[in-house]
Structure 1
Amino acid sequence: MARASFGTPNPTQAHAPDSPRSSESPIPGGIQGDLEQELLGLANALYNLGTTVVSDLTKDKDKPTSVGKQVGARVNDVIGHLSTLDNMSQHIPTMIPMQVLDEIDSARNPMQVTRDHLERAATENQFINGKIQAIKSFRALYNEALVQAFPDLKEYLVEPAETVHVNGATNGNGMHG
């Protein structure tokens, strides 16, 4: 589905040293590869449109040129890529969370958002683990104080055994999960 047009990257060509693809894995095959190729073509078409517009604005306005036709052709190229992407979207089941799109729209890197969520989850996990340890410690001290005050209760104050899960992990708090 990838089109050959002026400036569209060719996957068989060697990549420029500053190309983002030069250090990454090769373009995958199938519909995902076609989609990636089309997105690269769209990015290149947008770049070409931008450079054409900038060069048009910087040229001397007294000289009659045919730059208007060049801009129109570049716009048509961008529209063609967008149309192809729209047609391809019918065959791609991948769903992108709206939060990711919102972050991209607000000029935030989605990888940074993911990192922030992971760091927050790790912090909350440490906080909850601290609470569990505090409750275990309190329970042991409380049971010890109860046994000293009421020796007859000793047989009823048994420490919970560690729970062994299917995957072999233990939680040690007498609760499942």
Structure 2
Amino acid sequence: MPLDNVEKQLRNVIQTLYEAQVAISDYAGPQSIEAVQQQMNRLVSQYSELDKIKDTLDVNIPKEIVMYVEDGRNPDIYTREFVEIVAKQNQFLNGKMRAFEDFRDVLAEQIKTTFPELQGDVEHVLRATSGKYKPKLEETPDQIVPAKHES
């Protein structure tokens, strides 16, 4: 899998950077130069391999995640915050839906009470919108037809 290969290459780059850091911090004069040069050459070839792999990938990383990483933050925090925001928005929208459903049902009852001749239309709308329609015991849903209005 291409992403597994990228992950492996990135781990190699990180390891090489660590080894280069150790070689530089343990610098013991001219004899250490060769070790540092080897680490740098290996790093260049690993970057070259990563560059070749990039053309085989079709992955889009959101700009916000890249900015998180560039700012030294953990991308998992971004994911957690994103999930929390989506959950809050979902709760808000569910609340709005319930409020509209309740309003629909109250309005339907008021229309049926005020305009009894529209009862068939109201019940048709309630059925179509999954509203709280309570058929009379003697009627079946297929018997309820929207009232015809004369123009």
TM-score scaled by length of structure 1: 0.62
Please tell me whether Structure 1 or Structure 2 has the larger radius of gyration of its CA atoms.
2
Identify the structure with the greater helix proportion: 2
Matched residue, 1:102: 67
CA separation of 1:153 and 1:94: change in aligned 2, threshold 3 A: closer
Q: State the secondary structure of the residue aligned to 1:66.
A: helix
Matched residue, 2:9: 38
CA separation of 1:32 and 1:136: change in aligned 2, threshold 3 A: closer
Spell out, residue by residue over 1:6-62, the C-alpha distance to the aligned partner (whole angstroms, 9 max, x if none).
xxxxxxxxxxxxxxxxxxxxxxxx544433322221110011011122222xx6xxx
Matched residue, 2:126: 160
**C-alpha distance in 2 between matches for 1:41 and 1:32:** 14
Q: By how many angstroms is 1:118 displaced?
A: 1.9
TM-score scaled by length of structure 2: 0.70
Is residue 63 of structure 2 the alignment partner of residue 92 of structure 1? no
Which AA in structure 1 matches 2:23?
T
**C-alpha distance in 1 between matches for 2:3 and 2:91:** 39
**C-alpha distance in 2 between matches for 1:116 and 1:160:** 38
Identity value in percent: 25
**C-alpha distance in 2 between matches for 1:162 and 1:120:** 32
**C-alpha distance in 2 between matches for 1:131 and 1:42:** 51
Is residue 100 of structure 2 the alignment partner of residue 135 of structure 1? yes
Matched residue, 2:137: none
Which AA in structure 2 matches 1:48?
E
**C-alpha distance in 1 between matches for 2:103 and 2:67:** 45
Mapping of residues 15-164 of structure 1, within 5 Å: 31-56=2-27, 64-158=29-123, 159-161=125-127
Q: Which runs of 5 or more residues in structure 2 are unaligned?
A: 132-151
Q: By how many angstroms is 1:162 displaced?
A: 5.9
RMSD between aligned residues: 2.4
Q: State the secondary structure of the residue aligned to 2:26.
A: helix
Q: By how many angstroms is 1:99 displaced?
A: 3.0
Which AA in structure 1 matches 2:12?
G
**C-alpha distance in 1 between matches for 2:108 and 2:54:** 63
Spell out, residue by residue over 1:90-144, the C-alpha distance to the aligned partner (whole angstroms, 9 max, x if none).
2333343333222211222222212222221121111111111111111211222
Q: What is the number of equivalent residue pairs in this alignment?
A: 130
